[in-house]
Structure 1
Amino acid sequence: MKNKTIAAWLAFLGGPFGLHRFYLFGLWDTLGWLLPIPTALGFYGIERVQAYGLDDMLSWWLIPIAGFTFAACALNAIVYGLMTPEAWNARFNATENNDAPAGQTNWLTIGAVALALLIGTTVLMSSIVFSFQRYFEYQIEEARKLSE
């Protein structure tokens, strides 16, 4: 039986590495194996910022990729946590009754949803702000060069 609380926490904490996909769909889930790629690209962007500074244009694209991946996994945690027990059991525990305990919501599930909402929103907004800020600062610098 697939537990809703475990799936929500795995999506929130280990989602960028595909852990929730492996838990729910097995080790042969393609998306589960693809999720670490954008996460690794984002971490590579962070390393580029540390090595080359904030003026590295490639990092402006790479860092938000990881941010969007984290935010999407947080959204998955929210969706899993807010599914009704009937919908959860029908989708992930098809052989069980609709009111099976694995699909029930408890305080740990609510905690995963609340943290995913808080941190996922923060990561998403931070990713967008980082990219736009760096882009507009670059545009201002280029305009200053042209005006001189």
Structure 2
Amino acid sequence: MKNKTLAVWLTFLLGALGLHRWYLLERYDALARLLPIPTLLGAYGVWRARSLGVDDLWSWLLIPMLGFTLAGCALNAIVYGLMAPEKWNQRFNAQAPVDAPAGATNWVTILGVGAALAVGTTVLMASIAFSFQRYFEYQMEDAQSLSQPAPLKKSAG
């Protein structure tokens, strides 16, 4: 029996590593294998930003990968938490009756949905803001370098 509350918290806390898919699907499917890639690349971007500074080009390209993966997993946790018990049991507990308690929503499930909503929204907005800020800063730097006149060559005389 797949418990909805456990799935919500597992998806919210460890979903970026694909562990929730192993729990729900009882196998390590392709998406579960792919989820750690943007997570680890984004974590590497955070490490680069902390050690090299936020002006590092690779860090601002990699950090949003982590943010978008975390936000996507938070959204998935919200979808699981708000799923009707009958639909939950039909999808993840096919052998159980539709009114099995594993698909029930309780206060711990709702707290998980609320935490996923708060953290997921914050991470998503921070990732978007960071991406656009760095993009526009690089655009401004390129524009300034184009607008500055080239140094004059001294003629040999």
Please give the TM-score of this superposition, normalised by the length of structure 2.
0.90
- Cα deviation digits, residues 100-142 of structure 1 (max 9, x gap): 0000000000000001001001001100110110111111122
The letter of the residue matching 1:12 is F
1:59: Cα distance to partner? 1.5
Instruction: Pick the structure with greater CA Rg.
Output: 2
List 4+ stretches of structure 1 deviating above 4 A.
none
Answer with 29-38 or 125-134: which moved more. 29-38
The letter of the residue matching 2:145 is K
What percentage of residue pairs aligned between the two structures are identical? 65
Name the structure with the higher helix share.
1
- The aligned counterpart of 1:6 is 6
SS at match of 2:80: helix
Mapping of 1:15-94 within 5 angstroms? Answer: 15-94=15-94
For structure 1, the residue ranges without an aligned partner over 5 or more in a row are none
1:50: Cα distance to partner? 1.9
SS at match of 2:122: helix
Q: Distance in 1 between matches of 2:71 and 2:14?
A: 12
For these two proteins, the number of residue pairs brought into alignment is 148
Please give the TM-score of this superposition, normalised by the length of structure 1.
0.96
Q: Distance in 1 between matches of 2:8 and 2:88?
A: 12
SS at match of 1:31: helix
Q: Distance in 2 between matches of 1:3 and 1:134?
A: 41
The two structures, once aligned, show a CA RMSD in angstroms of: 1.0
1:66: Cα distance to partner? 0.6
- The aligned counterpart of 1:132 is 132
For structure 2, the residue ranges without an aligned partner over 5 or more in a row are 149-157
